[in-house]
């Protein structure tokens, strides 16, 4: 039903570089997994690739994606908006947002779901499954419905009722567990025993989400290139959990750089709810557990770090910065008062920008782009207390 890209060549490990035939490796690189250094995989493509003239949204970039056709609800093509108020406030040349909340289900996850679902359908899998308490579950449920494949979303009993309703109305089955960790245990069992197709991570330490899906995030970088006609902002600020989004954006810019379409890869900054990635960047083992509070920013929560996020930051000469949970409501207010009502996790880019200016990570007169991942209508009132 969906056509795989004939230019797919091999999968390769982000950590050790080993190459593997095109297939599905649910725990990432088999070699690194055996060594207890979990790392995700990505794709090598063959031959000359080009953006497709006359095509819109993500169909413009199918030469660079794992499937040439996929279920679509009109995702991609999200606008870049200039925020002159913030530029003036922080003495920057320009500040922009990439409004990913204008995707069909209201988040960036709509760039990942089409390719994960296309892969599952092409393999004749029984269903797709994600361990999610938010945007990923809502998005996958919608795209699975569009492709007429059953969907299972494993979440916790305290799931936000806004997301619960969005998932259940699609016809997806919502399975609730006691703890977040229980989700991964159940998902692993169902993938191994019942032939469910996994879209999100289910091992600990984690590797990240399905490689076919993550490729969709590269289109954010391609669109930024098109919007700015190659003159990319120096800094890209990204709300970050396990780094699927940040890796995809980096890899998209890497493609552009290797094609000589841009002169530099922008510095990518991960925004986190407490020091986690930043600790790994200072030398701690990425496989550790990092305790911390993310109660007001559950979409970027979790106490683990992936290899892919560390590599994306290091290779782009970027950084990570944490936002205090007590400041999240103020971050939302700051953006809402200039017209952007973002989900609490997404609104952390406002606080991040202020801290990055204060600690001089971003120098005056820079151009900065903030990734606005999800809209504020998904928050329940308790999320902002």
pLDDT of 287: 97
Give the residue carrying structure tokens 């599905």. Answer: 24
pLDDT of 381: 62
Find all residues with CB under 8 Å of 104, minimum gap 6, and list them.
73, 74, 75, 110, 142
pLDDT of 236: 98
Residues 224, 72: Cα–Cα separation, whole Å: 21
Burial class (CB in 10 A: 0-12, 13-18, 19+), 56: exposed
pLDDT of 384: 40
Q: 128-160: per-residue pLDDT in tens?
A: 999 998 899 999 999 999 999 999 999 999 898
Query: What is the DSSP pairing of strand 151-156 with strand 173-177?
Result: parallel
Q: Are 361 and 319 in contact (CB under 8 A)?
A: yes
Q: Could you tell me what percent of the chain has a pLDDT over 70?
A: 99
Pick the closest to residue 55 from 201, 236, 222 (CA basis). Answer: 222
- Whether 197 shows a pLDDT value over 80: the answer reads yes
Find all residues with CB under 8 Å of 341, minimum gap 6, and list them.
332, 335, 375, 376, 377
Residues 127, 50: Cα–Cα separation, whole Å: 33
Report how far apart, in Å, the C-alpha atoms of 51 and of each of 19, 59, 259, 269, 320 are. 26, 9, 11, 27, 31
Structure tokens at 38: 């979990």
Find all residues with CB under 8 Å of 132, minimum gap 6, and list them.
138, 140, 153, 154, 155, 200
pLDDT of 383: 45
Compute the average pLDDT of residues 82-102: 97
61 — pLDDT class (breaks 50, 70, 90): very high
Compute the average pLDDT of residues 177-189: 90
The pTM of the full predicted model, rounded to 2 decimals, is 0.96
Residues 164, 336: Cα–Cα separation, whole Å: 25
Compute the average pLDDT of residues 216-242: 96
Query: What is the DSSP pairing of strand 8-13 with strand 41-45?
Result: antiparallel
Mean pLDDT across the chain: 95
Compute the average pLDDT of residues 251-264: 96
Find all residues with CB under 8 Å of 235, minimum gap 6, and list them.
266, 267, 268, 269, 318, 356, 362, 366, 367, 368, 369
Residues 378, 113: Cα–Cα separation, whole Å: 18
Structure tokens at 300: 């970027």
């Amino acid at each position: 039903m969906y056509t795989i890209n004939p230019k797919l060549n091999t999968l390769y490990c982000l950590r050790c570089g080993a190459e593997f035939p095109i297939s599905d490796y649910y725990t990432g690189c088999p070699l690194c997994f055996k060594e207890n250094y979990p790392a995700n995989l990505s794709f090598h493509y063959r031959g000359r690739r080009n953006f497709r003239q006359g095509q819109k949204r993500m169909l413009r970039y199918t030469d660079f994606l794992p499937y040439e056709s996929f279920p679509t609800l009109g995702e991609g093509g999200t606008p870049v908006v200039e925020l002159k108020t913030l530029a003036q406030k922080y003495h920057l040349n320009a500040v922009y947002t990439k409004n990913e909340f204008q995707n069909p289900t209201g988040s960036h996850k709509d760039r990942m779901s089409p390719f994960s679902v296309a892969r599952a359908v092409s393999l004749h899998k029984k269903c797709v499954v994600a361990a999610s308490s938010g945007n990923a579950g809502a998005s996958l449920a919608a795209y699975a419905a569009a492709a007429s494949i059953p969907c299972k979303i494993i979440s916790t009993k305290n799931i936000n009722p806004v997301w619960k309703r969005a998932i259940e109305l699609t016809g997806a089955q919502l399975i609730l567990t006691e703890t977040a960790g229980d989700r991964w245990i159940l998902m692993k069992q169902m993938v191994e025993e019942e032939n469910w197709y996994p879209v999100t991570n289910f091992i600990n330490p984690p590797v990240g989400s399905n490689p076919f899906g993550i490729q969709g995030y590269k289109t954010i970088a391609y669109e930024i290139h098109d919007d700015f006609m190659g003159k990319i902002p120096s800094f890209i600020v990204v709300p970050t959990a396990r780094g699927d989004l940040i890796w995809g954006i980096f890899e998209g810019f890497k493609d552009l750089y290797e094609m000589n379409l841009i002169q530099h890869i922008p510095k990518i900054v991960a925004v986190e709810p407490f020091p986690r990635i930043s600790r790994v960047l200072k030398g701690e083992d990425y496989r550790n557990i990092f305790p911390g509070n993310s109660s007001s920013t559950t979409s970027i929560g979790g106490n683990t770090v992936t290899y892919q996020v560390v590599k994306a930051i290091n290779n782009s000469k970027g950084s990570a910065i944490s936002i205090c949970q007590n400041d999240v409501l103020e971050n939302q207010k700051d953006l809402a008062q200039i017209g952007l009502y973002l989900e609490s996790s997404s609104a952390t880019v406002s606080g991040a920008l202020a801290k990055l200016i204060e600690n001089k990570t971003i120098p005056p007169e820079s151009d900065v782009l903030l990734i606005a991942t999800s809209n504020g209508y998904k928050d329940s009132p308790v999320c902002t207390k």
